[in-house]
Structures are given as C-alpha cells and as structure tokens.
Amino acid sequence: MSERKLVVDHLKLTYDGLFNITMLYRTIDNWFMENGFDKREVRNQEHLKPDGKYIEIELQPWKKITDYARHVIKVQIKMLRIQDVEVEQDGLKVKVQKGRVNIIFDSYLDTDYEGRWEMKPFYFFLRTVFDKFVYRTYTSQFEDLLVEKTSNLFATIKAFLNLHKYEFGVAVRASDKLSPWKWGVGV
Amino acid sequence: MVDVARGIFGKLLSKKTVPEIEEGPKIHPLAEEGVFQRDGHFGGPLNPSYIKFRGIFDMDGLYRVMVRWLKNRRFEFHETGYAYKPPDFTTIAWNADRKKGGYILERITVNWDHRGVNPEGVEVIKNGVKKRMDEGRLTIKLSGEVITAYEDIFGKKQWNSEVERRLRKFFDWYVIKKELELTSWDALYYEVYRLHEIIKKYLQFEANGSIY
C-alpha cells in the first residue's frame, strides 16, 4: 500500500439558494482538466424524494507530480431538497435549481503509489528513511503546491456560487490546524 | 452556515446553530494498493465508478443502449451472471473484452444491482405514449483492466512458468511501460468514462456533461 498523507482536512463550503447543477459540475470538471488532473468519479447518486432530489457526488481526481508522488483532491458534494425553478435573467427564462449544497474538500499526497518500494522489508525501511530525511524538502514543496491548488479550487467554486462576499475559507494544512492563530479563521 | 466562534468571548456570544446534516466521524480513504506486483494485469484495475439512482427508469432501454455502445466499439460482450428474484433484487454482471493484438486484452466490467423490483412495472405517459418502466434502486459499477499475455481460447494461460512470468513482468514494467500506460490503460480508462456519461444522460442525471 502506498503512503498517504492528509494535507487538507475537511475544508467545507455550504450554499443555500439558486444555482445550476450542470454548470457547477462542469465548472469543477473543467478546473480539474485545466490543472492537469486525471478524472475519477467515485460515486454519482440521485434519489427522487417527495421534497426534491437528493444528489451526492464524490470526485477523487489525481495528478502525478513525479513517478513517486501524486496529488489527490477528494471533493464530496451533497445537494439536498433540489427543485427545478424558472427564473428570469436578462429578459430570458432560465431553468435553474434551488436547494442546499454542502461541499467538502480533502487533499492527500500519495508517495510510492505504484508500490515499488514495499515489496521487501529492507525496501520499505529505505523508503521510510528517504521520505523522512532525504526527500523532505521536496515533499514539503509538493504539500504547499497541493494546498495552493485546493485553495484555488475552493475559490473557483465560491466565485461560481457568488460567495465572494464571504472572505473566509482558506485551505489550511492539516498539520497547521493545531495552531489556529497562525492562519486566522477558517470555515 | 454555522457561525464560527472567535476570540475569548466568541463562544459565549456566538449563536449556536444545529447543522442540518449530522456530521459523523471524518473518514479518509486509505491509499490504494500498489500495483507493481499484480501478475498479468498491468496498472491494476481501473478505478471503479458507481452510479446510483432511485426512482423510475427504463431498464430495458438502458440495457440495450449499453450493449449497443459496447458492440459498436468492437468489444466482445459476455454476460457472466444474471440473477432475477423479484421483488428482492436483480443482479447482472458483464465482461466486455477487446483484444489489441496477440498480447494485450482490454476488459470493461459492468455490475448491475437493482433492488425493490416491481415485476409489474409502472405505467408512465411519456410524450403522449404509454410506456412501461421500472422503479426501485439501481446501482451500476463500472470498472475494467488491461491484461497482458491473456488466456488463449482454451483458457490456458500464456507465459505462465516461473521464468516466463518474471520475463513478462520485466517486459511490462520496464520495456513497454509507457506504451501500455498511454495507449492502453489511459485510453480504456477514459473510454469507460464515456460509457459513464451515456448512462448518466439516459437516466437524466443533473450532474452530467463531462469536459474530459
């Protein structure tokens, strides 16, 4: 099994109001494609309920940084009480959806994802020593890059849902959460 | 949105709001198993993808659309399992194989699980026409793999002795690795997502329209 390190832990975004589900999905998909991530849709679920649709989507795209490390960003989207509504925009009737959206972001750094350095105990030991002492600066840089990417994705979705007036919600590294005064307030 | 407590008196002054969704424990998925050791299956299985739907749908139509899609892409369609037990469940298992030369085989696996089966179905008027449809909970699992040195028509494995297996592993992981990754594994992976999109479009999912 490859080594997985949690970098961003449960960054949340909640929205209640009007939005277009198809465009939201395509915005997220487009962001991942433009940033060089490979697509992975773990689950896409739709339930028809009396009070509206319940939609749950889990995306876990990855991006290979080197042949040893890769970034994984997990996005869980839950939409509750979704109903179709028609609104007038610029004189045209547009079909959108109304409901509540909860989005949770988690980011991981996977090392040795092919499992080449875990076949024998000695290889495993070498990998551990290498990760902790030799390759540390590079791993730290990869983590910083991942935090930046996650924040960028968060800001993109926030802008799409028009939440720009709320300036909270910066991706914080999981290890830094122990000292909240360092990073200010997170969502 | 839940108010965030700030400062020393934050907790006393903030209004406590009960979250609508009860937050359970944080669950982080384990890292996937490394694939270097897998014998004859390059790159490991394609990451499985699940589509779940609860409502009214046309199972017969969806079945035909998927089979036609696979056959149009020159996959050999095999239905490896079919269990029909109304009103409990219906499960279907498919393997669709496509040979790329004498060494590489691309396989897509589809597993259906339909629960809450109503044998009589539901009559729905669609576009002025009465149609019989199914209702219940449907789960479709899509996966696949790239197999090297696949079995011959008699089911006998090729390159199966101890020396031959090591040679094959060296060949797959060091000699033709890039070619297998780019032309086989990657291409098959995104082809499965095209089938994924077809299913979502047929079931009229809101979250459809992949950019990839």
- B193 inside 8 A of chain A by CB: yes
Q: Using 50, 70 and 90 to split pLDDT, how confident is the model at A119?
A: confident
Residues B91-114 have pLDDT tens digits of 999 999 999 988 899 999 999 999
Min distance A114 CA to chain B CA atoms (Å): 4
- How many C-beta atoms lie closer than 10 Å to residue B137's C-beta? 16
A contact residues 80-99, partner B, Cβ 8 Å cutoff: 80, 82, 97
Q: Is B152 on the interface with A (CB under 8 A)?
A: no
A29 CA: distance to closest CA in chain B (Å): 6
A41/B196 Cβ within 8 A = yes
pLDDT of the residue at B129: 85
pLDDT, residue B35, reads 63
Check residue B1 and give its pLDDT: 44
Region of residue B172 (left: phi > 0; alpha: psi -120 to 50; beta: else): alpha
Q: In this predicted structure, what is the pLDDT of residue B15?
A: 59
State the pLDDT confidence band at B135, using cuts at 50, 70 and 90: confident
Residues 6 or more apart whose CB falls under 8 angstroms from that of A177 comprise A9, A186
Q: Does B210 touch chain A (CB under 8 A)?
A: yes
Average pLDDT, rounded, for chain A: 85
Mean pLDDT for the stretch of residues A109-115: 89
Judged by CB atoms closer than 8 Å, whether chains meet at B207 and A43 is answered as: no
Chain A positions in Cβ-Cβ contact with residue B144 (cut-off 8 Å): none
When CB atoms are compared, the residue of B4, B29, B210 closest to A39 is B210
pLDDT at B20: 55
The answer, yes or no, to whether residue B115 has pLDDT greater than 60, is yes
Nearest CA in chain A to B35: A114
Are the beta carbons of A169 and A156 closer than 8 angstroms? no
Looking at the complex, does the CB of residue A1 fall below 8 Å from at least one CB of chain B? yes
Distance (Å, whole) CA A138 – CA A169: 26
What pTM value is reported for the model?
A: 0.83
pLDDT at residue B36 greater than cutoff 70:
no
Look at residues B145, B83, B88 and name the one whose alpha carbon lies nearest to residue B112. Answer: B83
Contact status, residue B207 vs residue A25, Cβ threshold 8 Å: yes
Among A38-52, B53-67, B170-184, the range scoring the smallest mean pLDDT is: B170-184
Q: Is the pLDDT assigned to residue A176 strictly greater than 60?
A: no
Span B115-144, average pLDDT: 86
The per-residue pLDDT for B123 is: 86
Place of tokens 């839950």: A78
Say yes or no: A29 contacts chain B, CB-CB below 8 A: yes
Comparing A51-60, A126-135, B34-43, B182-191, which segment has the lowest mean pLDDT? Answer: B34-43
Q: pLDDT band for B85, please (50, 70, 90 cuts).
A: confident
Phi-psi region at A167: left, alpha or beta (left = phi > 0; alpha = psi -120 to 50): alpha
pLDDT for A103 beyond 60: yes
- A44, A113, A127: best mutation site toward chain B, by most B Cβ within 10 Å? A44
The reply to whether A27 touches chain B by the CB within 8 Å rule is: no
Between B11 and B70, the more confident residue is B70
A153 has a pLDDT exceeding 90: yes
Q: Cα(B210)–Cα(B212) distance, rounded to whole angstroms? A: 6
CA-to-CA separations, A91 to A82, A83, A88, A139, in angstroms, rounded: 24, 22, 6, 53
**Does pLDDT of A43 surpass 90?**
yes
Q: With an 8 Å Cβ cutoff, is B203 touching chain A?
A: yes
Cβ separation of B53 and A40 shorter than 8 Å? no
Residue A178 forms contact with B (CB below 8 Å):
no
* Cβ-defined contact of A43 to B52 (cutoff 8 Å): yes
The minimum CA-CA distance between B92 and chain A, rounded to whole Å, is: 19
**A15/A21 Cα distance (integer angstroms):** 12
Residues 6+ positions from A52 with CB-CB distance below 8 Å: A80, A81, A82, A83, A99
SS3 B173: helix
Q: Return the pLDDT at A183.
A: 40
Distance from CA of B146 to the nearest CA of A (A): 16
CA of A83: which chain B residue's CA is closest?
Answer: B206
C-alpha span between B79 and B131 (Å, rounded) = 26
Q: Any CB–CB contact under 8 A between A53 and chain B?
A: yes
pLDDT in tens, B137-169: 999 999 988 988 888 888 787 887 888 888 888
